Amino acid sequence: MSTDASDAGIPREPIVLLTGASGYVGGRLLPLLARQPGRVRCLARNPEKLRRLASDNVEIVQADVLDPDSLQKALQGVTTAYYLIHLMSGSNNFEEQDRQAATHFAAAAKAAGVQRIVYLGGLGDDSDPDLSPHLRSRHEVGKLLRESGVETIEFRAGMVIGAGSLSFQLMQSLTDRLPVMICPRWLTTKTQPIAVEDVLSYLLAAKDLPPGESRTFEIGSHDTATYADLIREYARQRGLRRWLIFVPVLTPYLSGLWLALVTPSTYEVGRHLIEGLKNPTIVQDPSAQQAFSIRPVGIKEAIQQSLAGEKTD
């Protein structure tokens, strides 16, 4: 009869749980986690979609964050859990579903003795009465995870610049397809985007932070720009000539419909993302610079990295 490692006095390997492994950030985080000591457990509603990612130290388990009973077994033995789930693309009522999912996951993590949750949310000022539903939901999820009592490291980021990032892809598609853009005023909103490579560095580093209280870190490039500036810089690097004509009225509803016509994104996701563009996404709390040695690249280099990544892909 085999002897369990814990019964023999041998400590078990640490298990890191990764949700959202089929998503943009999670899919890039998985191979980085797999190279580190310990085991990685990927949570998936449909395990067959991720089966090809399984290896000696990567296992795929079936569970659904909207089904609390399915989470109990998935979280057993987990030390650190990455929560990279956002249900905006799958539901018209994404706020309620995100709320349920975070509540279920947080309770299951607490019951299983998980030591730390690492969560990637969105920038935005909590005191802004006009904060978009998308950003408000991102902040609420972080709050629910913290309230579980499990130490939670929340990163708040704006647009993630990288080949495959949905928000960056929206900007790319518009710039690639429209030589002349009729632009709403929200393209003058200030933002601090961040390269996906820097996001991954923060997520990895969070796993090894000394134990402590829950913390929220705002992360972004050292550059502040408008969305129009991003379009111009992207066009410059692609060798495209683009004209931006600003108009006073172009509602989020019409903007989302416009995006659905000219980009590969769905209407609903595009509309929710557009609603968030009216809110400045600026790093106001510099504490990430004290807690981490990571120094994010500027916007120009981030776009260069993204274009190079497209060629590699």
**What residue spans define the domains of the chain?**
15-160+195-220+283-296
Residue type, 192: Q
Longest dimension (CA), the chain: 75
Band of the pLDDT at 267, cuts 50, 70, 90? low
170/235: higher pLDDT: 235
pLDDT confidence bin for 9, thresholds 50/70/90: very low
Q: In what order do the strands lie in the sheet with 215-219?
A: 58-62, 39-44, 15-18, 78-83, 116-122, 151-157, 215-219
Rounded to whole angstroms, the Cα distance separating 101 from 79 reads 20
Residue 55: burial class (beta carbons within 10 Å; 0-12, 13-18, 19+): exposed
Say yes or no to pLDDT of 155 above 70: yes
Beta bridge partners of 181: 244
Count the Cβ atoms, other than its own, within 10 Å of residue 290: 7
- Supply the pLDDT for residue 257: 62
The token pair at 253 is: 């509803």
**Between residues 284 and 177, the one the model is more confident about:** 284
DSSP character at residue 122: E
Pick the CATH number of 15-160+195-220+283-296 from 3.40.1640.10, 2.60.40.10, 3.40.50.720, 1.10.3720.10: 3.40.50.720
What length is written for the chain?
Answer: 313
Q: How far apart are CA 21 and CA 19, in angstroms?
A: 6
Q: How far apart are CA 226 and CA 178, in angstroms?
A: 19
Q: Say which range, 3-7, 37-41, 155-159, 282-286, has the weakest mean pLDDT.
A: 3-7
Q: Would you say 219 and 198 are in contact if contact means Cβ atoms under 8 Å apart?
A: yes
| Partner residues linked to 18 by β-bridges | 42, 82
Name the pLDDT band for 27 (thresholds 50, 70, 90): very high
User: Per-residue pLDDT tens for 67-82?
Assistant: 999 999 999 999 999 9
112 pLDDT more than 70: yes
